[in-house]
């Protein structure tokens, strides 16, 4: 590749600025910097946190575009040097710089796939066991660990919202909050039924068993998104949280379960010692689920996933994880495969997420 080819291939900067509305985001960053310098900026902590979150999202666009612009300027300088001195020795440096620019372009292209209204939001991820008995409960726990590891590897924060253990092993259901930029945009790719095939560790005869668990992902919405809920449509129940957490959880009814009667959506929160805090989190989770259901109605693919939630069993799986008689993870929506099953279960699920998002946005 010549220097001229390097420069002529780098045509994405103008379109990036336009598509990502770089000008307005850059102007907004300048406004936020001025706001931050004001002595009363943190007088309203909630408003301050919201502005900081807005700043972080804007920087995910502004910073890469600035880096791209800088890389193109470097390529121009290298091209001038080569032309004036007739020296092709600068070509390797130009190619390396162009490679960096190309990587940034690809990242911005992928970020374009996360253009949904709620994609930048945090995510509530609920994992529930389905058909397969105790193997399904153990499988749900394995999925929960997989997503926790994935989130931690990406620098996201993970917080437990609810956790219902199965006495014989694994979990019946659990919900975690994954907090970080575009957590929902990525995790929405995982909504659906997941199938595991393996030699069951719970079978005395060591037979191969198939187990199913479902993953349900909702965006954590902020106060700027209004969802009207009639209090008469919500059934609220309190109970002892149970499980780990010391004597307190077994003596007080701190756990809260909310049921939205018209839709049948049920949420549960037991993370906090305070029933009041659990109630607030449960209400936020309920609103998030209702919002996800409403958006699914406008999306035929997601509507199909939500429609299949009633039966977490054969025929509805989006992905299969086979440990026996061979080793393979296969996504049935994209045909993406990986023979390193243990690596995927240890958190390396991002290639599947990326493959799905790319196909979905074609």
Dihedral in degrees, nearest 10, Cα atoms 297, 320, 116, 183: 130
Taking the C-alpha atoms of residue 184 and residue 165, their distance in angstroms, rounded to an integer, is 25
pLDDT tens readout for residues 127-165: 999 999 999 999 999 999 999 999 999 999 999 998 999
Most confident of 2-16, 187-201, 282-296: 187-201
Q: What pLDDT shows up at residue 141?
A: 97
Q: What is the pTM of this model?
A: 0.70
Q: What pLDDT shows up at residue 245?
A: 45
- Which residues does 201 contact at the CB level (< 8 Å), separation at least 6? 138
Residues 249 and 334 reside in one and the same domain: yes
Residue 45 has pLDDT above 80, yes or no: yes
Residues 246 and 99 reside in one and the same domain: no
Domains identified in the chain, total number: 2
For residue 98, what is the domain's CATH number? Answer: 1.20.58.410
**Mean pLDDT on 31-60:** 88
Residues 143 and 260 reside in one and the same domain: yes
> Which residue bears the tokens 């909310």?
258
Q: Which range of residues forms the domain containing residue 107? A: 3-113
pLDDT tens readout for residues 58-93: 888 888 888 888 888 888 887 777 777 666 677 788
Residue 40 has pLDDT above 70, yes or no: yes
* In a domain? residue 306: yes
**Domain closes at, from 113, 143, 164:** 113
Taking the C-alpha atoms of residue 105 and residue 112, their distance in angstroms, rounded to an integer, is 11
Residues 144 and 268 reside in one and the same domain: yes
Residues 127 and 187 reside in one and the same domain: yes
Residues 200 and 331 reside in one and the same domain: yes
**Mean pLDDT on 167-178:** 93
Residues 244 and 343 reside in one and the same domain: yes
For residue 247, what is the domain's CATH number? Answer: 3.30.70.1660
Residues 182 and 273 reside in one and the same domain: yes
- In Å, how far are 130, 206, 228, 311, 317 from 314, measured between CA atoms? 10, 21, 36, 8, 7
Residues 310 and 224 reside in one and the same domain: yes
Q: What pLDDT shows up at residue 12?
A: 53
Strand partners, 210: 197
Residue 4 has pLDDT above 60, yes or no: no
- Which residues does 311 contact at the CB level (< 8 Å), separation at least 6? 130, 131
Mean pLDDT of the chain: 82
With contact defined as beta carbons under 8 Å apart, do 173 and 164 qualify? yes
* In a domain? residue 277: yes
Taking the C-alpha atoms of residue 6 and residue 234, their distance in angstroms, rounded to an integer, is 60
Q: What pLDDT shows up at residue 331?
A: 97
Q: What pLDDT shows up at residue 328?
A: 97
Residues 41 and 176 reside in one and the same domain: no
Q: What pLDDT shows up at residue 311?
A: 60
Residue 10 has pLDDT above 60, yes or no: no
* In a domain? residue 118: no
pLDDT tens readout for residues 240-293: 765 544 444 445 667 888 888 888 888 888 877 778 888 888 888 888 888 777
Overall residue count recorded for the chain in this entry: 362
């Amino acid at each position: 590749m010549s220097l001229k080819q390097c420069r002529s291939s780098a045509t994405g900067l103008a379109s990036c600025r336009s598509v990502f509305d770089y000008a307005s985001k850059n102007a907004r960053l300048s406004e936020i910097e001025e706001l931050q310098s004001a002595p009363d900026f943190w007088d309203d902590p909630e408003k301050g946190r919201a502005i900081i979150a807005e700043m972080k999202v804007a920087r995910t666009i502004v910073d890469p575009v600035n880096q791209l612009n800088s890389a193109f300027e470097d390529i121009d300088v290298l091209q001038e040097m080569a032309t004036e001195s007739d020296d092709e020795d600068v070509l390797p440096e130009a190619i390396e710089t162009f490679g960096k620019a190309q990587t940034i372009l690809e990242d911005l292209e992928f970020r374009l796939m996360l253009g949904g209204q709620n994609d930048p939001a945090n995510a509530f991820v609920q994992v529930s066991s389905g058909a397969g008995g105790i193997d399904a409960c153990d499988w749900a726990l394995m999925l929960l660990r997989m997503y926790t590891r994935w989130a931690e590897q990406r620098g996201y924060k993970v917080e437990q919202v609810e956790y219902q253990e199965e006495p014989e092993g694994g979990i019946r259901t659990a919900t975690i909050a994954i907090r970080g930029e575009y957590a929902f945009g990525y995790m929405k790719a995982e909504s659906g039924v997941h199938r595991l095939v393996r030699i069951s560790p719970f079978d005395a005869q060591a037979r191969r068993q198939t187990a199913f668990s479902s993953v349900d992902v909702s965006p954590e919405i902020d106060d700027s998104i209004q969802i009207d809920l009639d209090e008469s449509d919500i059934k609220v129940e309190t109970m002892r949280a149970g499980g780990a957490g010391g004597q307190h959880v077994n003596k007080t009814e701190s756990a809260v379960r909310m049921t939205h009667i018209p839709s049948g959506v049920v949420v549960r929160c037991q993370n906090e010692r305070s029933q009041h805090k659990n109630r607030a989190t449960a209400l936020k989770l309920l609103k998030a689920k209702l919002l996800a259901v409403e958006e699914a109605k406008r999306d035929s693919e997601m509507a199909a996933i939500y429609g299949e939630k009633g039966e977490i069993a054969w025929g509805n799986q989006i992905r299969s994880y086979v440990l026996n008689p061979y080793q393979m993870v296969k996504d049935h929506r994209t045909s993406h495969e990986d023979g390193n099953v243990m690596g995927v279960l240890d958190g390396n699920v991002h290639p599947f997420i990326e493959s799905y998002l790319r196909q979905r946005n074609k």
